Homo-oligomer: A and B are copies of this chain.
Amino acid sequence: MPRTISMETDMEDRILLAHGSGGKLSHELITEVFVPLFDNEFLGKLDDSAVLELEGRLAFTTDSYVVSPIFFPGGDIGKLAVCGTVNDLAMSGAVPKYLSISLIIEEGLPISDLRLIMTSIKKAAEEAGVQVVTGDTKVVDKGSADQLFINTTGVGMIAQGVDISGSNARPGDKVILSGSIGDHGIAVISQREGLRFSSPVESDCAPLNRLVAEMLGSGVEIRCLRDPTRGGLASTLNELAVSSHVGIEITEDSIPVRESVQAACELLGFDPLYVANEGKLVAVVSADGVEKLLDTMRRGHYSAESAIIGDVVAEHPGRVVMKTGMGASRIVDMLVGEQLPRIC
């Protein structure tokens, strides 16, 4: 009965509800798929918690990833889940150390897809120098989730003397952006909608912790670091202006936007200022030594196009104002409504 056999094979190759039961199939998935990939002294014990030796100031951050589709040009939900959380730690000035990975899987997901994504997680974790030390897997019935959601929560260590916070910006500081904006959002939406552009856009998804380490090592005083993900550059700058009770003035012409991203935005009616990035950072830094810092940043693999995009001012606290290419000024508000759902 070849039909029965092929059905069985098919079943074996897909995630079943029982893979999330806490029973035998859960155990097999953990010991056969997860543990061999993330082999370390912590995860291998399979206790309820990982036990870590740490001392000092700890950064702790969480994010759930629901990006659709789960594979996109330049990455997948696994790479994104590692980079996003590593970057949140780095933006606090922390050295990322350990991650937890928690999966919510829709019944029927091909196990081959899960393997690809877990392999991306492993690669991204290796690049960032973090260890996956604990995890969880839940499976929900078909139709109760969309393929796969991943939560990553991270802990990192903050060195003595490092004080990075969204509330530290002061008038006179410079605003630096580490590269072009909008790549991630446009890459995901293009894949989702099946759009084709003459030069395809890849997500910028990347771990930025080594860049941050270089920046912190430069000796230039860094006040705020933030990655402009959901809500884009505009929302991030607004958050900084509100938290620090300062105004921010940016110059449109100084903000790098790839031609292909600009073209896609015009076609789709998006403003690149509001499109998500996953491998860029905004830094607010003391004006002293800003050129030295830029030199350091431009040597980095993910930050060759770093540029000063604006200034922190005492006027209009809580507001971001942009000088346009035509010489006019306009208020750049926080994203209102939803420009691109499920982008991360």
Interface residues of A (CB under 8 A from B): 16-18, 20-27, 45-66, 68, 87-89, 91-92, 94, 98, 100-104, 133-136, 138-141, 143-146, 149, 151, 153-156, 158, 165-167, 226-227, 229-232, 235, 239, 243, 274, 276, 333-339, 341-342
Taking a contact as CB atoms under 8 Å apart, the answer to whether B89 and A18 are in contact is: no
A104 to B66 Cα, complex, angstroms: 8
Q: Looking at the complex, which one of B23, B65, B133, B135 makes contact with A337 (CB distance below 8 Å)?
A: B23
Chain A interface, >50% SS class: mixed
Taking a contact as CB atoms under 8 Å apart, the answer to whether A140 and B134 are in contact is: no
Q: Looking at the complex, which one of B60, B133, B338 makes contact with A21 (CB distance below 8 Å)?
A: B338
Residues from chain B with a CB closer than 8 A to the CB of A337 are: 18, 21, 23-25
CB distance from A319 to the nearest CB of B (A): 14
Residues from chain B with a CB closer than 8 A to the CB of A94 are: 49, 51
Also in contact, A27 and B334, with CB within 8 A (given A47-B92, A136-B63): yes
Residues from chain B with a CB closer than 8 A to the CB of A342 are: 138, 140-141, 144
Taking a contact as CB atoms under 8 Å apart, the answer to whether B49 and A60 are in contact is: yes
A334 to B20 Cα, complex, angstroms: 13
Residues from chain B with a CB closer than 8 A to the CB of A338 are: 16-18, 20-21, 23
Taking a contact as CB atoms under 8 Å apart, the answer to whether A64 and B103 are in contact is: yes
Q: Looking at the complex, which one of B17, B23, B49, B158 makes contact with A334 (CB distance below 8 Å)?
A: B23
- Minimum CB distance partner of A335 in chain B: B23
- The contact sample of 9 A-B pairs, CB cut-off 8 A, is A21-B337, A22-B335, A51-B60, A53-B58, A54-B56, A61-B134, A62-B134, A62-B136, A144-B146
